[in-house]
Structure 1
Amino acid sequence: MLDARLRPLIDPPLNRMGRVLADAGIGPNTVTLTGFAIGLCAAIAIAAGYSLIGLVLIALNRIADGLDGAVARATRKTDLGGYLDITLDFFFYGAIPLAFALQNPAANALAAAALLASFYANGSAFLAFAIMAEKNRLSTTEQGSKSLYYIGGLAEGTETIALFLLMALLPGWFPALAWGFAAICFVSAGARVLIGIKALQEP
């Protein structure tokens, strides 16, 4: 919901940093893979009980996630880059709730399962529509220049990042935060399905 509104604010500094990295010979896929490794380290830190370290690593992961696209825009966007970006993002989004479940199974496992189920529903609606949008030659730049069609929703990247950071800052609140965000994600998934149906209906 907030991604499109934040784009005008975050894209200019990211693009400047992306050009610096591109001029240094660092490719977008390198940034993507490095960011993913940092994200996995965040999950490991959280699972081990070091939530504040996890918070810092989550923030670094998300910075890298913005930078890989900026480097691609400064050099050349590729299908491989877009594929790695979205795939590893989903891996990361799944790793953080799992980490909290491992950190405290008795308190967190059920809430983590609900959150992961909502991510699955939201991601399925998002990716399935992206496939159909490509088939029907639909396009949008509302979320910036992307490798695939980004259908908007209540729960997008900005909200998920804020959630993960808050969970890492207040790990004892994980169950309440997870249940609340899972409800938002299920509503977002339903809305995306309805938007997809409307967009793809035969005239």
Structure 2
Amino acid sequence: MTVFDARLRRRLADPLARGAKLIDVPWVTPDRLTAAGLATGLGSAAAAAGTLWALALVLWLVSRAFDGLDGPLARRRAAGSGSPAGGFFDITADFVVYGTTVVGVALGASRAQVAPWWPFLLVMLAYYINGTAFLAFSSIAERTGRRIDDGRSLSFLGGLAEGAETIAVHSLWLLVPGWAGGIAIAWAGVVALSAGQRIIAGFAALT
């Protein structure tokens, strides 16, 4: 993972653990937090498509807060490890939210005539290649006993584009939608480089 993402994860580990302790009541479950993150993420995409940029930003950040709490709560209840089903739901929800928010911003920006739609198509292509690389590695690494354990459900190969960077970039184009097209082109390049990095590192690790 990137230095920024790694540092942020370390800095947020204790606050998120304390947050998980505060919300550790029977009716709050990790899966419900994941579902709440998915719902607010979809709401952010819809708000962006409607050019409601401030609302989209708030819902995006709330969505990522839910996403940050589901793992610590799962590990707290499972004595250090989350459930496989919960991990699957979490990563699937993340992919849905990332993809739909890109589409939402593309629709809103083109509708408001502040940016064309095609830079966001490049982002989606880069996300597809990047996701394929790390999911394929995770599956094969698990099967061959070469799992990378950093506390998450999957074996993540490091890359330039990680969760913290994704949150920052998605927030940025909601803050300044007039620059969203240029931000999307640059971000697509970063994600593409990250995908290439993961492909090379994954092949080397499995050789």
Work out whether residues 115 and 178 of structure 1, in 8 Å CA contact, stay in contact via their aligned partners in 2: yes
Point out the more displaced range, 145-154 or 17-26.
17-26
Q: Name the counterpart of 2:23.
A: 21
Q: Name the counterpart of 2:139.
A: 131
1:100 aligns with 2:105: yes
* TM-score of the two chains, using structure 1 as the length reference: 0.94
* TM-score of the two chains, using structure 2 as the length reference: 0.92
Q: Can you list the C-alpha shifts for 1:115-163, whole angstroms capped at 9, x where unaligned?
A: 110111111111010001101122334xx41111011100010001000
Q: Work out the number of aligned pairs and report it.
A: 199
1:60 aligns with 2:68: no
Residue ranges of structure 1 left out of the alignment (5+ in a row): none
Q: CA RMSD in A?
A: 1.2
Work out whether residues 138 and 147 of structure 2, in 8 Å CA contact, stay in contact via their aligned partners in 1: no
| Code of the aligned partner of 2:131 | G
Q: Name the counterpart of 1:81.
A: 86
Point out the more displaced range, 20-29 or 47-56.
20-29
For 2:116 and 2:44, the matched residues in 1 are separated by 17
Q: Name the counterpart of 1:183.
A: 189
Point out the more displaced range, 50-59 or 22-31.
22-31
2:161 to 139, 152, 155: 155
For 1:178 and 1:96, the matched residues in 2 are separated by 12
Identity between Structure 1 and Structure 2 (%): 38
Work out whether residues 108 and 174 of structure 1, in 8 Å CA contact, stay in contact via their aligned partners in 2: no
Q: CA deviation at 1:24?
A: 4.7
1:112 aligns with 2:120: yes
| Code of the aligned partner of 1:81 | G
For 1:104 and 1:176, the matched residues in 2 are separated by 12
Residue 152 of structure 2: SS of its match in structure 1?
coil
Residue 148 of structure 1: SS of its match in structure 2?
coil
Residue 108 of structure 1: SS of its match in structure 2?
coil
